[in-house]
Structure 1
Amino acid sequence: MIVSLPPRWMLFTGALAALALAVPPFVIARVRATPDPNRAVHIFFDMDFQPKFRPQSVNPLFADGRAQRPSVLGTVARGEAGLDVHLSDGVVNGKWADTLPAGMTMSRELLDRGQQRYNIYCSACHGYGGYGDGTVNKRAMELMTNSAGPANGTSWVQAKSLHDPLVREHPLGMLFNIASNGIRTMAGYSAQIDTADRWAIAAYVQALQLSQNASIQDVPPEIRDNLKKEVK
């Protein structure tokens, strides 16, 4: 049986066509795998290109040239109205609050949360026991008292002991306000710690103070005898 082959020109044309069809995949693979400082090829734009201005950029549409517009006068962010000054400032009837805000109750869970947040944010300076002996404070005091003088112009004020008699007199609301806005050389932490956690920290600080300045009368009657035996 004799099989006739296609003409040579057809074979040649078919080979060229196959090679031509193979070029696009190789080009695409190379573009995808090779770093290029130029903008990538976009077949589908998705949301990569948007008619917008980035924050703090220039917009000639407005007289002041700012793209980021100031808030309308009187605008209040959601949840930032501050109508409950007990919750937001720790104040009741113009005085420091002695109680937790409405909706919050003193509980073991609250104190545990306060201890956790205190250990994260406060212990570095005030120490885990609240005596102002945290690791940051210790290091700063070492730099202040080294024989060659303060390093790089270091300036530091000894962290306050939370068991100082004056600090022990601080009401719960004042402790919350200090955690929020700071006092003297201490910065506020309202940006780092949310409101509920700052109240938890304030409650834990009072518990910590009580733990170091308690009397036998503060111990529940049912466990006083056992405690006295342990002390003996």
Structure 2
Amino acid sequence: MMILSLIFLAFIATGIYVWHKNRPLPSNRYRKIKHVAPIPVSKKTALKEEAETTFDSEEDDFDVLGIRSKEVKSTLSAQTTSSALKSASSQSDCVVVLYLMAPEGCVYAGYELLQALLSAGMRYGKKRIFNRHEHKDGRGAVLFHCASSVPPGTFDLAQMGSFSCKGLCLFFSCSDVEEPLSTFDSLLETIDQLVEDIGGQVFDEKRALFTKDRMVKYRQQIRTFETGKTTADLFA
């Protein structure tokens, strides 16, 4: 009888362990976790040279994450954001901020991260963050930006081999682009590609899981901004 009881308890413990290990994660269209194979040394050198060659020739519109957003400002040093925040425009602006965070217990590191950013069409800028232009080859106006989610938010190509961060912050201000909704779609496509390449989950500006409902609300906010801007232009 004692042996049967022990076997039964062992069976229950095994079942609990298996359930915990394989329990479903929150539903999210971006929820993909992928392990990236190490990059050869020769490939690392080529990636660094590519990033330096495609250095963004235009001035960044933002001083790292100085984008008129209290949520984003809290993730970076005051020194990095102060100058842009002082020159902030009216409160009627709409700022889109999304975070891509690495899977639990993991980080985005070194040349694997650099490869993913370049593949997604991001180009290294003078403010030491990455920018996405109208064209993936770096031509055209800047649409949105990508910074590290931890202070000071910048990337150092010279130290990229030892660089790591828990997440990325992608953002833009609707007042700085010609077509905010189209820019928002491009940002989502870029995040989708990054998730495919390096894994992770997407969160909104309040660090809540980014859902389809939140996406719809963002679109509504952007449309409201566009309508207000059109009206203001008519009476300008």
Q: What is the TM-score with the length of structure 2 in the denominator? A: 0.25
Which one has the largest radius of gyration? 1
Higher strand share: 2
Structure number with higher relative contact order (C-alpha < 8 Å, ≥ 6 residues apart):
2
Q: What is the TM-score with the length of structure 1 in the denominator? A: 0.26
